[in-house]
């Protein structure tokens, strides 16, 4: 199964929010939709969910226009959308039946997910008696109760402590392994890197970067080498003494020696130059940019 947005344009009044947004994601791979506030993430998600239509362009599922009722979408919003004064099970049944399930099926699915997230003891409690993290888990149960084909998670780990975050992580991994289409929207880059195979970065209503995260990282300038060892001061002093012509800078940072080369192809020359330090250098690693660094690089100057 493949979900694709093709040249989505959307304006509200005179303000152009989306200006030709195109990306694709296949089942079994998770896509991170990234962008600063106002970049168009929420508008894109709402068009995928068919909350409203684009001015032009379309959303395709397996190459065909996605039509209402033909595919099940589970959406976890950043702003919670449940009823605080109602019991957990009462509203889970409501959301399940709203998604087309029979009452018995909705109850079975709710109980299974509550047990999976260690929330069974709260099934008959009012939502507003639960902690913020547990409310988030109930919201996730409502998102998944109808076993959706497409799952959209907007800041899914907000408010979760490490133990609850791990439960949610395991569940999300299972969904990806089952071939579901999973879309993440988050400002927490560590979670995007952990779960997503691909990213699409929005800036000013346009996709400025998209593709496989690993390939994107490898496409960046790879001139910085991280050297590890028991005595980083010795390694750094050696580089100072040698004054190697192909090294433009070096410093100790985060317990490693970061060596900046004049050109990426100088890696082999550096490796050979370090032979006198055999036994002192434990690791020679090319530094890849973090997803946060990539995000900042492509969104500086965004509205």
| Listed range (50-64, 66-80, 122-136, 267-281) with the worst mean pLDDT | 66-80
29 pLDDT more than 80: yes
| Both structure tokens of 20 | 């030709």
pLDDT digits 0-9 by tens, 240-273: 988 899 999 999 988 899 999 998 889 999 999 9
pTM for this predicted structure: 0.82
Query: Angle at Cα 64 formed by Cα 62 and Cα 66, nearest 5°?
Result: 95
Q: Where are the beta strands (DSSP E) in 254-297?
A: 256-261, 283-286
pLDDT at 129 over 60: yes
Q: What is the pLDDT of residue 302?
A: 44
Contact between 239 and 219 under an 8 Å Cβ cutoff? The reply is no
> Which residues does 247 contact at the CB level (< 8 Å), separation at least 6?
239, 259, 260, 261, 262, 266, 270
Average pLDDT over residues 278-288: 87
Q: Is 62 helix (H, G, I), strand (E, B) or coil?
A: coil
CA distances to 1, 107, 117, 183 from 179, in Å: 8, 24, 21, 13
Length of the chain: 303
Measured CA distances, 43 to 17, 36, 198 (Å): 8, 13, 20
Residue 295 has pLDDT above 70, yes or no: yes
Tokens of 220: 């960046």
Count CA atoms within 13 Å of residue 165 on its CB side. 13
115-127 pLDDT, tens digit each: 998 899 999 999 9
301 pLDDT above the threshold of 70: no
Alpha-carbon span 71 to 82, nearest angstrom = 23
pLDDT tens per residue across span 137-187 = 899 999 999 999 999 998 888 777 888 888 888 888 898 899 999 999 888
* pLDDT at res. 37: 85
**What percentage of the chain reaches a pLDDT higher than 70?**
99
pLDDT for residue 303? 39
pLDDT bracket for residue 279 (50, 70, 90): confident
How many Å apart are CA 73 and CA 199, to the nearest integer? 20
């Amino acid at each position: 199964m493949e979900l694709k947005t093709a040249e989505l344009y959307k304006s509200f009044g005179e303000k152009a929010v989306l200006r030709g947004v195109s990306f694709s994601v296949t089942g079994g791979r998770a896509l991170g939709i990234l962008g600063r506030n106002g970049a168009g993430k929420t508008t894109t998600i709402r068009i995928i969910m068919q909350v409203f239509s684009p001015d032009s362009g379309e959303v395709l599922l397996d190459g065909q226009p996605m039509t209402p009722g033909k595919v099940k979408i589970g959406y976890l919003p950043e702003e919670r959308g449940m009823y605080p004064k109602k019991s957990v099970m009462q509203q889970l049944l409501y959301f399940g039946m709203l998604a087309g399930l029979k009452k018995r099926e909705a109850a079975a699915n709710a109980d299974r997910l509550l047990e999976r997230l260690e929330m069974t003891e709260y099934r008959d409690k009012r939502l507003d008696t639960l902690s913020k993290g547990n409310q988030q888990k109930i919201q996730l149960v409502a998102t998944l109760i109808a076993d959706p084909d497409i799952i959209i998670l907007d800041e899914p780990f907000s408010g979760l402590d490490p133990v609850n975050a791990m439960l949610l992580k395991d569940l999300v991994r299972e969904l990806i392994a089952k071939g579901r289409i999973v879309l993440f929207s988050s400002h927490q880059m560590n979670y995007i890197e952990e779960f997503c195979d691909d990213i699409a970065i929005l800036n000013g209503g346009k996709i400025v970067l998209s593709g496989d995260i690993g390939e994107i990282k490898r496409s960046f300038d790879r001139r910085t080498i991280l050297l590890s060892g028991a005595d980083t001061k010795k390694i750094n002093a050696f580089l100072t003494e040698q004054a190697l012509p192909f090294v433009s800078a070096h410093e100790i940072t985060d317990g490693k020696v970061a060596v900046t080369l004049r050109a990426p192809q100088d890696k082999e020359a550096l490796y050979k130059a370090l032979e006198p330090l055999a036994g002192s250098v434990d690791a020679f690693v090319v530094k890849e940019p973090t997803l946060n660094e990539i995000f900042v690089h492509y969104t500086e100057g965004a509205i």
